[in-house]
Amino acid sequence: MKQTLLTFALAAACGVPKAVSPLWLRASAISPDGKTICFAYKGDLFTVPAAGGQARQLTSNAAWDGSPVWSPSGKQIAFASEREGSLDIYLINADGGGLQRLTTHSGTEKPLAFLTEDEVIYTSTGLPAAASFKHVSPAGA
């Protein structure tokens, strides 16, 4: 018992680092089947088995990537990225391939959910041009 306490005391005195918690872990989203978690860590996206295990990096670039949202099938992940200067929505396969840019507005877009496998609902601070607005007027006005 004394030997164990002495070992712990020496380790503490020598500055042996404790396990590091991932303090930059943000915006986790669990896959539809519940088997995989996608999360943002230091501006890139990763997946990890929900049961635990090794995380796999999906994106790697100097821009910030975050706000992941799974498709209904779990085959794709929509996310926000500032690769082009403002937040746009991108789509990536759950295995990390097939990166595709979905929006090109100069506003800030973030995905909220998939409506169908091919349609993403998102928020945006960008306003379309006035000519693209449709106004409904009462009859005779």
Dist CA 55 CA 46 (whole Å): 6
Report strand pairing: 36-41 vs 88-93: unpaired
For the segment 61-107, what is each residue's pLDDT rounded down to a tens digit? 999 999 999 999 999 999 999 998 889 999 999 999 999 999 987 77
More confident call, 134 vs 8: 134
The DSSP secondary-structure symbol of 132 reads G
pTM for this entry: 0.73
Amino acid at 80: A
Which residues are CB-contacts of 98 (< 8 A; sequence separation ≥ 6)? Answer: 91, 92
For the record, the structure tokens of 64 come out as 């910030």
